[in-house]
């Protein structure tokens, strides 16, 4: 007796409608835009912190519009804002945010020196007019012997470092053990402050009105908050400044 082979597989004709090309492109565009938006939100939620800047210590870089020529606060003026990269390591000349070792308040300043560096604020006498003195910041980077006189283009033209020099000299008189006297050729003997491991040294751009490391000495890495990546002046749009920052970061 022969058996018939039974085929249990049934062919089913499933109709699969095709989406028009324009609909597929629109769907992909919306999906990619959604992913980008999620990435931006994640970055600015976990990496960046936006905060307004208070005080005149970083004029003219920040809050220049808030104070008149005499240094008085202009009533009703708006402060500039900054975006702080909480995971960004700072380099020389970067603007940073830290907790002050004096009162624990947040300060925004310019990074001048890092651990292992030697830094000094010196008075340079004019040979022709000895009564006329200029004040400069000198730096010897860690592992080097070359003395660098800082060129600081971010300072307002005519800015005097007299107050910074006085603060630095007062700090040296209270902490002589932290200083080393080094012969700097034409500038004679200069007292340099040596930064220990984990220390950094910052100054405000408005040297005549800034409480900074020249007054109370180096700060420590446990007080470091982050590096300022984006500055938004009060008259500018936040989105446009963020877009320009990342555009230049990616494309140069």
**End-to-end Cα separation, the chain, in angstroms:** 84
Please report, in tens digits, the pLDDT of each residue of the chain (252 residues total): 555 555 555 555 555 556 677 777 887 888 888 787 777 666 666 788 889 999 999 999 999 999 988 788 888 888 999 999 999 899 999 999 999 999 999 999 999 999 999 999 999 876 555 557 889 999 999 999 999 999 999 999 889 999 999 999 999 999 999 999 999 988 899 999 999 999 999 999 999 999 999 999 999 999 999 999 999 987 777 777 777 776 777 776
What local confidence, expressed as pLDDT, does residue 252 receive?
Answer: 60
What local confidence, expressed as pLDDT, does residue 9 receive?
Answer: 52
What local confidence, expressed as pLDDT, does residue 68 receive?
Answer: 85
Q: Which residues contact 217 (CB under 8 A, 6 or more apart)?
A: 101, 171, 175, 178, 193
Distance (Å, whole) CA 127 – CA 114: 33
- The distance of Cα 185 from the centroid of its chain, to the nearest Å, equals 33
What local confidence, expressed as pLDDT, does residue 4 receive?
Answer: 56
Residue 130 φ/ψ, nearest 5 degrees: -55, -25
Query: How would you classify the pairing of strands 148-149 and 48-52?
Result: unpaired
> Residues for the chain: how many in total?
252
Q: Which two tokens stand for residue 132?
A: 């006329």
Q: Which CATH class is domain 53-251?
A: mainly beta
What local confidence, expressed as pLDDT, does residue 34 receive?
Answer: 78
Cα angle: 78, vertex 81, 83; to 5 degrees: 170
Domain-wise residue ranges, the chain: 19-47, 53-251
């Amino acid at each position: 007796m022969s058996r018939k082979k039974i085929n249990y597989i049934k062919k089913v004709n499933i109709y699969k409608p095709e989406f028009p090309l324009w609909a597929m492109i629109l769907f992909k565009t919306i999906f990619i835009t959604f992913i980008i938006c999620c990435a931006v939100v994640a970055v600015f939620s976990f990496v960046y912190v936006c905060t307004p800047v208070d005080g005149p210590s970083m004029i003219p870089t920040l809050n220049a519009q808030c104070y008149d020529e005499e240094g008085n606060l202009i009533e009703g003026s708006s402060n500039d804002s900054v975006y702080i990269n909480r995971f960004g390591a700072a380099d020389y000349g970067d603007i940073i945010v830290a907790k002050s070792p004096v009162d624990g308040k947040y300060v925004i300043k310019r990074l001048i020196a890092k651990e292992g560096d030697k830094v000094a604020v010196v008075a340079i006498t004019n040979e022709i007019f000895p009564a006329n003195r200029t004040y400069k910041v000198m730096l010897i980077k860690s592992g080097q012997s070359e003395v660098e006189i800082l060129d600081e283009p971010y300072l307002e033209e005519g800015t005097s470092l007299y107050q910074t020099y006085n603060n630095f000299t007062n700090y040296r008189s209270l902490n002589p053990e932290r200083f080393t006297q080094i012969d700097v050729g034409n500038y004679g003997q200069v007292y340099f402050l040596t930064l220990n491991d984990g220390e950094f040294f910052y100054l405000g751009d408005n040297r005549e009105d800034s409480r900074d490391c020249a007054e109370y000495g180096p700060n420590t890495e446990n007080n470091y908050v982050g590096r300022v990546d984006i500055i938004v002046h009060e008259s500018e749009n936040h989105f446009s400044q963020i877009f320009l920052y990342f555009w230049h970061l990616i494309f140069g």
